[in-house]
Every structure is written in structure tokens, then in C-alpha cells.
Amino acid sequence: MHSSSVHSNNAIPTEYRDGAEKLFPQGGFTSKKGLSLKAIGEFANTLGIGAEFRRLLPIHKSPGTELNTYLENFQYNLDLLIQKTWVEKADEARKEILLDEVPGFVDRILKKNFRQALDEFGAILDELAYLFFGAQSMRDDFTEYTFRIDAQMGLFWWYGSQLGRLKDFIKDHPADDEALWAVLLLGICFLTNF
């Protein structure tokens, strides 16, 4: 999945563009304007996961049974998605590699290492997009393609394409763990309910 370009932002239907660009500004992040929890919450609503997102947002503060259970459900559902994808024989190894990456990602979340988890999640989503859509996921018009299938799906894959931009920004700028968790939770919630 290619990282975002102006082309992929233009692929976003007009009714979603304002909310999407509040989350990931088209001109990029600035040191004064990083992630907005309000914009993240609004984007969760647009993805159809707003209630679950709001319920789960604070659970990373008191790790325990609820967080562990939710991440187990996420991992189980993601494993099922990966295993159920039909791929060419040559791509079977990719499925196995991806299945092996998910537990490490979950572990980073449990350890509150959100920066590294963000990097890993971007790679997981790239690989998942490839398993779902094949070489189409590598094309510049991938976001537009997914919007033609379903608006929420298109928004989700657009979000996935933006994680690299965020990763690049936080290399040189402080990032609030709450905001990083919220951005990760968007994808976790969506995939848990996919």
C-alpha cells in the first residue's frame, strides 16, 4: 500500500474529506499541530466504530483483563482474516510471516511501546492489504479503488496509508502516548469488527 499522496486524498469522497484531513492534514503535521484526540474520535465515528472506540480509549491506562481480552479478540479476528484470504501458492509464506508478526505487535501495545507498535502496525496493514487485494494494493490508485468498493473500507485503507506519514513526523517530534494509542485503536477496533 503506497503512502498517501495528493492523489489518495483526492480519492476521499467530499463528505469524508474534512474529517480525514483533520486527522491527517494534507499539508502534513507541524510541530505545533500534531494529532488531535477530537479528530481521532470523529474519524472513529466515520468508520462506524465510534462507540467502541470511546469505550476502549482509556483501557490502556490500567492494563489488565479488559485490555488483554480485547487484544486477544483482535489477534484472533486478525488471524482468521489472514488465514481465510485466498492467495497464490507463491504468497502462502507471506501469510505465515504476517501471522508471526501479530503477537509482537500486541506485545508492544501491552508494554505501551506505541511508537514501535505504530511502525509495526503500518507494516501489518501493508501486508494485509496485499493479501486482500494483491498487486492492486501497491498501485497509486489503491485508495480510490477501495472507496469504490465501500466508503468505510476506503477510509480504513486510507488511514493505513497515512501511518507512515505519522511515523515520519514522530521521529523528530514528541508524540503524546494517548494520541498514539488512539490512532492505533482506530485500526484495532476496525479490524476486530471487520
CA distances from 24 to 21, 36, 160, 184 (A): 5, 9, 11, 14
Q: Is the pLDDT of residue 58 over 80?
A: yes
Question: What is the C-alpha separation between 61 and 112, in angstroms, rounded?
Answer: 9
**Greater model confidence, 19 or 11:** 19
Query: What one-letter code names the amino acid at 159?
Result: Y
Give yes or no for residue 60 having a pLDDT over 50.
yes
Instruction: Calculate what percentage of the chain has a pLDDT beyond 70.
Output: 92
- CA neighbor of 192 nearest in space, from 96, 71, 101, 100: 71
Residue type at 2 in one-letter notation: H
Q: How high is the mean pLDDT of the chain?
A: 88
Q: How confident is the model over 35-52, as a mean pLDDT? A: 93
C-alpha to C-alpha distance for 116 and 108, rounded to whole angstroms: 7
56: confidence class by pLDDT, cuts 50, 70, 90: very high
Tell me which of 6-10, 50-54, 132-136, 160-164 is least confident. Answer: 6-10
The domain ranges of the chain are 6-192
pTM of the model: 0.90
Q: What is the mean pLDDT of residues 56-71?
A: 87
